[in-house]
A and B are shown apart, each in its own frame.
Chain A
Amino acid sequence: MGANIYRNKKPAFVFLVPAFVFMVVFLYYPFIKNVINSFMEIKSLGAAGTRFNTPWYSNYVEMFQDQNVWTAVKNTILMMIVTLVGQVGIAVILALMVDNIGRGRQFFRTVFFFPIVISATALGLMFNLVFLYDKGMVNQFLETLGKQNLTDWKAEGIALFTMMLPVMWQYVGFYFVILVTGLNNISDELYEAARIDGATRLQSVRYLSIPLLHNVICTCSVLAVTGALKVFDLPWVMFPKGMPLKTTFLTGTYMYYHTMETKNVDYGAALAVLIVVLGIVLSKIVNWIFREKDY
């Protein structure tokens, strides 16, 4: 009887058309067009490609010879490792701790999560002030601890650290909440049984919580790696145009740099293709790594 309502399929198409027209026009078609654009010669943003490059794959040749592309890819992979180890690692520790405390769970949840709500642009400006050479928060703090000379947090060498730290910091709370939810789903009876068998609190964390959390940690890891590829706002605000000396480019910011700053739009399109390929390859690798360890 129930199937009768949905036997007439005509309404389904009325329901589906708007959403799918939107997706095709603004996602699928532009995606394919972007690949074509990467072989064309495009004079300015908004202009259509007039003719193919000579040779048509010249942007890709340029990409292999472009030193900055390698810097950007290297930085992006480093960013992935940092987010994977830093965000998920710290989040696991914090989540296990919060799961074992009595009071203040809700407080820590609220406080840890809230950087995610604030735009990365505003946070970037905030960290510009925090890491200011001329007596920003960090430098003044180190000075009160007795450090003599000021550190230029935006100098070459340390710039990557200064860029990645806020990115990592912002999303710890996100994985923390996911992990805490995962921990809440573990039934209390298991802990009860472990306690009766004489397990200490540390032992039940080690032999119950962590193994049972394995799948949630895997989900977080995949999210962290794919998320690292999408990072744009914060690095661009703190280190526009790959400052200093084009050493802080990520694949996303480098693509933006060519599209908007040097007006080399078709090269930007080619870099976007690189981002997609990189994303597919890296998420396959991560999926594979974490499936291997699955029980």
Chain B
Amino acid sequence: MSKKNKFSAGMMVVYVILTCWALTTVYPIIWVIQNSFKAKDKILSNSFAMPLGELFTAANYRKAFKTADILGSYKNSLFISSMVAIFVILLAGMGAYALARYQFKGSGILHSMVVGAMMFPAFATVISVYQIEFRWGIASTGSWFLNMLSVILPQVAGNLAFAMVVLIGYMKGLPVELEEAAYMEGCNAFQIYFKVIMPLTKPSFATVAIFSFLWSYNDLFTQSFFLRRPDMYSITMMLNNISAKEGTDYGMMAAVVALIIIPVIIVYCFLQKYIIKGMTAGAVKG
């Protein structure tokens, strides 16, 4: 039984280490939220105190809403990212189905094209994409819709290849018998896709949608090329801009960061199982 005792002492060390790492991920965020409720000079004197009584102020939040159009950038970001997720599902789903089920001359080449497309870094395409969209008249216009479209298009393209790889893998594992039965009933290929394949692929579609949505929602690089007017700002652009302008107002910066992080944490708590699966789908087969 002595072995068991030694072993639980080791367990203690393990738990302590794990908890330490957990603190590094959680505590900075608590610290920021806690300080977002304090006046600037109070942060500097003692940032670890809870914002209670005298210390408490909501002024940072009032100023944040006045300085930046936070709700507007939320709206823009949610619109862009939802559209990216929807288009990726539609386009990648159909493409993946064809590549998973049809055998034809050149299907090998198309397959390699999909895998190859995953390798392009955004750095290598963004300048030319901007040129193309500028020539089409959709980049840097005054129209809200065109501004959103100009960033949605490259983001869809950026997620398409990865989504197809995930979906092809999943669809190949589906039993072909159901499709045969539907075919016998007189369904054509399109009916089979929309009525049989799409419902069966739902879990994988969810994975792909979450991945594309988060990728687009968190992206700063591509968005900074296409969303340059303050009323078009996405959340990341709004953050970047406010930090350049008001970076020294620490209280307000903390408030802005809190306003951006808290909703994400709430959503994460509810959907964490799907989110973790979605984000790691590329590396873990399934």
Contact = CB atoms under 8 A, between A and B. Distances in A.
Interface of A: 1-2, 4-6, 8-9, 11-16, 18-20, 22-23, 25-31, 33-34, 37, 45-48, 90, 93-94, 97-98, 100-101, 104, 107-122, 124-130, 132, 134-137, 140-141, 144, 169, 172-174, 177-178, 181-182, 201, 219-220, 223, 229-230, 232-233, 236-237, 240, 251-252, 255-256, 259-260, 265, 268-269, 271-273, 275-276, 279
Contact of B95 (A20, A108, A127): A20
14 contacts: A6-B101, A15-B95, A15-B193, A98-B18, A121-B236, A130-B31, A173-B25, A178-B283, A223-B283, A230-B121, A233-B221, A236-B240, A276-B120, A276-B121
B7 to A, nearest CB: 7
A260 B224 contact: yes
Interface stretch (B57-65, B200-208, B256-264): B256-264
Contact of B48 (A6, A127, A132, A140): A140
B239 A125 contact: yes
Interface string B117-153: 1011111111111111011000110000000000001
A19 B92 CA distance: 6
B127 A178 contact: no
B104 A12 contact: yes
A30 B156 contact: no
A11 B125 contact: no
B69 to A, nearest CB: 16
Q: Which 7 A-B pairs have the closest CB atoms?
A: A19-B95, A26-B157, A30-B128, A11-B189, A46-B134, A119-B218, A15-B98
A137 to B, nearest CB: 5
Contacts, number: 295
Interface residues of B, number: 108
Given A26-B125, A27-B157, A126-B257, A119 B236 contact: yes
B272 A113 contact: yes
Contacts of B176: 2
B35 interface: yes
B235 A22 contact: no
Contacts of A232: 123, 220-221
Contacts of A1: 180
B129 A30 contact: yes
A273 B257 contact: no
Given A26-B125, A272-B127, A177 B14 contact: no
A34 B128 contact: yes
Given A23-B157, A48-B131, A169 B24 contact: yes
A67 B238 CA distance: 32
Interface in B235-253: 235-236, 239-240, 243-244, 247, 250, 253
B127 A8 contact: no
B265 interface: yes
Contacts of A31: 120, 124-125, 128
B218 to A, nearest CB: 4
A99 to B, nearest CB: 10
A11 B190 contact: yes
Nearest to A122: B260
